[in-house]
Amino acid sequence: MSNIESDHSWQPARSRNRPISATQKESKPEVSLHPSAAVWAAAALGFTPDPRQAQFLDCPDRRIALCTSRQSGKTQVAAAKALHAALTHPGTDYLLFGPVARQSGNLLHRIRTFCKLLNLLTKSDPAHENSLVLPNGSRFVALPGVPDNIRGFAAVSVVIVDEAAFVDDAIYPAVSPMLAVSNGSLWALSTPNGQTNVFYELCNTPANGWTILRSPAEECPRISPAFLAEELALHGDQLFAQEYQCAFVSASTQLLDRAVIAAAKLPYRPTGNLCFGYNELFVGIDVGKRQDHTALVAVEFSLTQPTTRDPFTGTHITTPHLFVRSAESLPLGSDHLDLPGRLRALHASLPGPFKQVHYIVDATGESTLIEVLRRDKSLNRYPLTPVAITGGHKTSHLAGGYEGIPRPDLLTRLRTALGTQRLSLPAATPGLPELETELIAFRADGQQREHDDLVFALALAVWLAYERQKVHLFPNTGRRP
């Protein structure tokens, strides 16, 4: 940014009701600026920022994430901060993004309204339909958040992403290079929207270089406690927390809440007093297609045997549990005929002994691979369950020894195992970071951006473990969830 060209002597802006002469219009009068954007906004624009708005207005940091309640005035305060910066630094560019053109256009409209209040003569940039150019040459351009259509800008002073939790996540890597030469700023403003987007990461990753500001509704003097009480009664705890308390609640399309995944993580690799005579290994295999990885996830079913005994029978009380022992995605393009060798390597890497090892393979249309596994002399002694994931309503037996498993049943079994803390993710498990990333991003509607191969391999292993160990995992009913 260039330095301020006029001095910092500040005066209140001209009254909006005072008529402007033709001479004044032609001279394009400069607006006196106070160095504090919050002070300037209160006197020149006619609104007094609340404490959170003032904090944002005067924040000098280059990366700011403003997490707000609904109706907290984020568009107004973003427009004021942007206009103050543009007037202070002549000839600078400001890009405004939203999920759709209407939302970025709303921010531009608020800036245009402020310009009229200040009696500034503005014009549009002929190259951009939704734009505004100030008399000092600073320019605002409003664009929809479509990553493929925003390239071509350089040396941008500020990028503002409004409704930042609702834009396409690819917008962030698309716009950040535009700030490289100018050492420009990026402001992301939004109400929370689930836990699987970049805005969530910005607001919840410690020491990521971003300044995080939160503006919940109870701190906004313009929102009454009575209204908030009505909204809480109308919408319930979860939606109210998201819309008014800056809480990142898992979205309806999200398979797992981050808190559930975090609770499943163990900071150690448990050994405990395991009953090795009962331990079994379940290996889920999701066979990759053209653009998907082949994934292998090994889950150990174990019975821990503490020192306490049942007071009636005198026998040791055992606790059934599932532990992820390995997670691996094979490189894209890996030959399926190499899978037997990879499974042998997996066996060699895991401690034992195991009472039994089971394979379950989602190999719809991969009958050749199933035959290869069945004929392999080192593997054919282990039970193999080929699976076709279906859109049906119940598990069915299909031709060729396949099990037809409805996709919702498969995912529900995984969610149940994690939610009831029957399944743990021990530290130092090979491939755990990649598996955790997929679990966090996975959506029940299948629209996630991350690969989902490890999630389905894990779901297959868990499904089979529950089928084979009903008596331990469901001692009262012997039935699956």
pLDDT of res. 315: 57
How many other β-carbons are positioned within 10 Å of the β-carbon of residue 181? Answer: 10
Asked, for residue 57, whether it belongs to a domain, the answer is yes
Q: How far apart are CA 50 and CA 221, in angstroms?
A: 7
Asked, for residue 8, whether it belongs to a domain, the answer is no
Token digits for 273? 């007093």
Q: How far apart are CA 339 and CA 273, in angstroms?
A: 33
Within this chain, do residues 236 and 138 fall inside the same structural domain, yes or no?
A: yes
Contacts of 50 (CB under 8 A, 6+ apart): 73, 219, 220, 221, 222
Within this chain, do residues 211 and 358 fall inside the same structural domain, yes or no?
A: no
Q: What are phi and psi of 317, to 5 degrees?
A: -85, 120
> What one-character DSSP code corresponds to residue 177?
G
Token digits for 364? 């719809």
Angle of helix 432-441 relative to helix 453-468, nearest 10 degrees?
A: 90
Name the β-bridge partners of 162. Answer: 189
Its domain, for residue 50, covers 22-244
Within this chain, do residues 296 and 165 fall inside the same structural domain, yes or no?
A: no
**For residue 353, is the peptide bond before it cis, meaning its omega torsion is within 30 degrees of 0?**
yes
Q: How far apart are CA 456 and CA 460, in angstroms?
A: 6
Within this chain, do residues 217 and 279 fall inside the same structural domain, yes or no?
A: no
pLDDT of res. 131: 93
Asked, for residue 354, whether it belongs to a domain, the answer is yes
pLDDT of res. 239: 84
Q: Is the pTM of this model over 0.85?
A: no
Within this chain, do residues 199 and 103 fall inside the same structural domain, yes or no?
A: yes
Q: Which amino acid belongs to residue 264?
A: A
Q: Alpha helix locations (H) across 169-290?
A: 171-175, 198-204, 225-235, 237-244, 258-264
CA angle 440, 444, 445 (to 5 degrees): 125
Question: For strand 403-406 and strand 396-397, is the pairing parallel, antiparallel, or unpaired?
Answer: antiparallel
Token digits for 60? 């000098």
Q: Is 449 exposed, middle or buried (0-12, 13-18, 19+ CB in 10 A)?
A: exposed
Token digits for 186? 């990026």
Within this chain, do residues 131 and 276 fall inside the same structural domain, yes or no?
A: no
**Domain end among 210, 244, 278:** 244
Within this chain, do residues 274 and 235 fall inside the same structural domain, yes or no?
A: no
Q: How far apart are CA 60 and CA 221, in angstroms?
A: 24
Within this chain, do residues 233 and 279 fall inside the same structural domain, yes or no?
A: no
Number of domains in the chain: 2
Within this chain, do residues 235 and 311 fall inside the same structural domain, yes or no?
A: no
C-alpha distances (whole Å) from 96 to each of 49, 191, 211 are 22, 17, 19
pLDDT of res. 473: 59
Mean pLDDT, 10 residues at a time, over the chain (481 residues)? 35 39 44 84 90 94 95 93 95 90 85 94 89 95 76 86 88 88 93 86 89 93 92 86 85 71 80 60 85 86 64 61 90 78 87 85 76 83 87 76 84 86 89 90 69 90 87 49 41
The answer to whether residues 444 and 451 touch, using CB atoms and an 8 Å cutoff, is no
Asked, for residue 347, whether it belongs to a domain, the answer is yes
pLDDT tens digit sequence for 301-349: 887 655 555 555 555 556 788 999 999 988 877 777 788 888 888 888 8
**Domain end among 212, 244, 276:** 244
Tracing tokens 């150690």 back to the chain, one arrives at 268
Q: Is 116 exposed, middle or buried (0-12, 13-18, 19+ CB in 10 A)?
A: exposed
SS3 content of the chain, % helix, strand, coil (to 5): 35, 20, 45
CATH code, 460: 3.30.420.280
pLDDT of res. 160: 94
pLDDT of res. 454: 92
> What one-character DSSP code corresponds to residue 30?
P
pLDDT of res. 2: 36
pLDDT of res. 74: 93
Within this chain, do residues 334 and 388 fall inside the same structural domain, yes or no?
A: yes
How many other β-carbons are positioned within 10 Å of the β-carbon of residue 327? Answer: 27
pLDDT of res. 310: 53
CATH code, 140: 3.40.50.300
Q: Sign (positive/negative) of CA torsion 256, 67, 73, 50?
A: positive
How many other β-carbons are positioned within 10 Å of the β-carbon of residue 164? Answer: 29
Within this chain, do residues 126 and 183 fall inside the same structural domain, yes or no?
A: yes
pLDDT tens digit sequence for 166-191: 888 888 888 888 898 899 999 999 99
Asked, for residue 3, whether it belongs to a domain, the answer is no
Token digits for 382? 């282990």
Asked, for residue 293, whether it belongs to a domain, the answer is yes
The answer to whether residues 130 and 142 touch, using CB atoms and an 8 Å cutoff, is yes
Asked, for residue 441, whether it belongs to a domain, the answer is yes
The DSSP string of 318-360 is PEEEEEEEEEEEPPTT--GGGHHHHHHHHHHHS----SEEEEE
Asked, for residue 259, whether it belongs to a domain, the answer is no
Token digits for 97? 């993004």
Within this chain, do residues 239 and 271 fall inside the same structural domain, yes or no?
A: no
